[in-house]
Structure 1
Amino acid sequence: MTDQGQLHRQLIDRMTNNGSLRTDPWRKAAAAVPRHEFLRGGYFRRVAGPRFHSAWEPVQAGDADWLEGCYADESLVTQIAGTIVPEDIRGPITREPTSSSTLPSLVLRMLEDLQVEDGHTVLEIGTGTGYSTALLCARLDAENVTSIEYDERVASRARAALGHMEAYPTLVTGDGLLGHGAGAPYDRIIATCGVRTVPQAWIEQTRPGGLILATICGWLGSSELARLTVHDDGTASGPLLGGGVSFMLARPHTPPPLGLLPDLDDGKERETAIGADVLSNWTARFVIQLAAPGAQRLTLERDGRSEETLVDVETGSWAAVYSEGGRWLVRQGGPEPLWDAVEDLFGQWRHAGAPALEEFTVTVTPAGQTIHW
């Protein structure tokens, strides 16, 4: 069996070789923080096989493959359904994950992208297991690090793990979308959860010239990392960084329940030049999210065909797109024609040469957030 030290060194080598770990200060921080110390409560592993559609089984500390899993460059689910941790169950569970330990290469890539310098103060949104918090402490010293966690149980376990590592940053339990004004202004803010829009509180709590690193997500499942510079006038702007970064959404930004679906037969039908196949492309889906930000996606089998359906719960608008006789059709209803908006913005994007997400710019002002290429 490979020992912990060797597994840790192999992980650092992998992150160095793939370009996630690029500078000596972060390499030293990564070497100083053993990931397994933040997974002693275990984690969940996806169950494969025909019995389960999407299920997870617990892996406990002391299990034969627990330690190797800790040092795999993979995200590890640590909480299910908002309350359930590995020690709570003995068999598979089919609920949705609500907290995880992000794959180390992404953690280090983001910390490198944060462009910190010695003496900088950092506010971290989403403590999680505490692994990334410990890396920040190793790089900047704990007195320069503040971390907020929404979930009290998750925060408690992170506090214990950090204490075991003798790392004592400022830890706050609360809504990270509100930031932590008591420690402001910060040189850097980094979010380890996804947001639909960058909160104004983060901009207000970052000193002019400071950076905010956050993953901007949508309800159609496409997301990207943005690095925003805060300006003297209280606005912030900056590019998307590319790479297809994905995080669980901050809980206040998760979509509402779909509830009772509208009558999907009661709509106007027409041919469309944009088919449902575009929804399988990450960048195209990001553009579609900008056109229909309140829409959620369903795949429905109706009348012997598959229909990709977008539903906006708040407005009641919907659109169903499907193929018939070698052409794409859309049927839509509600007060706002969703697919019309998709066709318009998607057409503009294509006319511009279908720019990559790295060519998009995010701007946040007190009036709201805009994203354009």
Structure 2
Amino acid sequence: MASDPDLETAAVSLRRQLADHLEKGGWLRSPEWRAAVENVPRHVFIPRFYRESDAPGVTTWEPVTPATAGHAEWLRLVYTDETWMTQFDGRDIDWTDPHPVSNTTPTSSSTLPSLVARMLEDLDVHEGMTVLEIGTGTGYSTALMCHRLGSESVTSIETDEKVARRAHEALAQCGYAPHLVVGDGRVGHPDGAPYDRLIATCGFRTIPPAWLQQVLPGGIILTTLRGWMRSLGLVKLIVTGGSASGWFSEDDPSFMIARQQDAPESLGMIPGPDDGTTRKATYGPGVLTSSGPGFMAQLAVPDARFFSMPVDGGPVSTFVLDGVTDSFAVLAPTDSGWQVRQGGPRRLWDAVETAVATWEEYGSPGSAAFGVTVSRDAQVVWLGNPNGPQWPLPS
């Protein structure tokens, strides 16, 4: 077993290696944030975690602690550019006797450092600025901001009281004392407003109106927009007094959705075999899982979810269900392609196909061609420019 001085010496070296990796990858671009990565001990914030097993079959997560992996391997893993899970299904883990887990949903994690560094760089902070963080999690990114700006400039909100308590202890152990709040990130923290910057490390279906009120004009909101089917992506908004607008990033970092905006347990009513009207489908269910068309499908039917299963012992059909309006679309294979059966107040597959056709008409662009405008009255995603094709975000 490594002694504490040996562990700290090894950690210093590993942090330097991590900073080198992040800088070479283009995620770490400034000496100030590099200094934060080199100084903040990530191992204090994730003393134990779960990683995904590579065993075939159902997804299984296996525990990693100094005892299970050995101190050297545990520390090496802590400082790799990976996301490590720290909670499942909103319940605390019994670390006195940890076991592999499966059939479970991660609800808290330590995000991969390259994404953390890239978002912090995109936040474009300067000395003297104040930041509101939505989603404290382990507290690691909070600590990086404290190192960069000073604890007094950082406010962080966590919805889970036990997660917040562990983050508070880890931050205190490292000498940081930001203002930590347990609550609903959608309402922000008006007592500390106004803020120069707001960064969210969980996904939201829409931009909470309170954020617009609490971020100064000219300030930045950096968050992930996502739906119940998939993530839309990271968006950087500039606030202009009661409204904000900005662009999606090139790639699609996917954060867990904020718990207050998670999908309801019920998918909605499964239609009967004779419900709805049938037509030939222009696109099959593959558009739901491919990158660009999947982005468009999420915009087109924001309250829908989908799953596939055999019907009456026949071929696999894909069900798209809208639990808000009880609308549905069922896609089934035919000899010449796909057919769709739709019913309810919204023609879900009509909306999906129209959105995908628009995307193709504009040259099948990446997410960076899309922007967002948010006001008190409406929130829309647009293609090309604010006067281009638009899709409302869910109310």
TM, length-normalised to structure 1: 0.95
SS in 2 for 1:124: strand
- The equivalent residue for 1:336 is 346
Alignment partner of 1:314 out of 303, 307, 324: 324
Distance 1:86 1:307 in 2: 40
Does residue 233 of structure 2 align to residue 255 of structure 1? no
Distance 2:240 2:258 in 1: 25
Does residue 38 of structure 2 align to residue 31 of structure 1? yes
Distance 1:85 1:288 in 2: 36
Does residue 54 of structure 2 align to residue 48 of structure 1? yes
Distance 1:194 1:76 in 2: 17
Tell me: CA distance 1:319–1:160, structure 2 relative to 1, closer, same or farther (3 Å). Answer: same
Native 8 Å contact 1:272 1:329 kept in 2:
yes
Alignment partner of 2:290 out of 257, 273, 281: 281
Native 8 Å contact 1:124 1:190 kept in 2:
yes
Q: Residue 326 of structure 1: CA displacement?
A: 3.1
Distance 1:127 1:269 in 2: 48
SS in 2 for 1:166: coil
- The equivalent residue for 1:270 is 279
Native 8 Å contact 1:322 1:329 kept in 2:
yes
SS in 1 for 2:95: helix
Native 8 Å contact 1:79 1:85 kept in 2:
yes
Q: How many residues align?
A: 370
Q: Residue 88 of structure 1: CA displacement?
A: 5.8
Alignment partner of 2:87 out of 66, 79, 90: 79
Q: What amino acid is aligned across from residue 43 of structure 1 in structure 2?
A: F
Write out per-residue CA displacement over residues 96-121 of structure 1, whole angstroms, 9 at most, x where no aligned residue. Answer: 11100000010000000111111110
Does residue 178 of structure 2 align to residue 163 of structure 1? no
Larger CA deviation: 308-317 vs 322-331: 322-331
- The equivalent residue for 1:349 is 359
Q: What amino acid is aligned across from residue 177 of structure 1 in structure 2?
A: R
1:132-171 aligned within 5 A: 132-171=141-180
State percent identity of aligned pairs.
45
- The equivalent residue for 2:29 is 22
Does residue 203 of structure 2 align to residue 198 of structure 1? no
Q: Aligned-pair RMSD on alpha carbons?
A: 1.6
Distance 1:339 1:256 in 2: 21
Write out per-residue CA displacement over residues 314-349 of structure 1, whole angstroms, 9 at most, x where no aligned residue. Answer: 111111223321312111222211111112222222
TM, length-normalised to structure 2: 0.90
- The equivalent residue for 1:224 is 233
Superposition misfits of 4+ residues, deviation over 3 angstroms: none
Larger CA deviation: 189-198 vs 216-225: 216-225
Native 8 Å contact 1:47 1:57 kept in 2:
yes
Q: Which runs of 5+ in 1 are unaligned?
A: none
Native 8 Å contact 1:322 1:328 kept in 2:
yes
Distance 1:38 1:14 in 2: 20
Alignment partner of 1:57 out of 62, 78, 83: 62
Does residue 299 of structure 2 align to residue 290 of structure 1? yes
SS in 2 for 1:349: helix
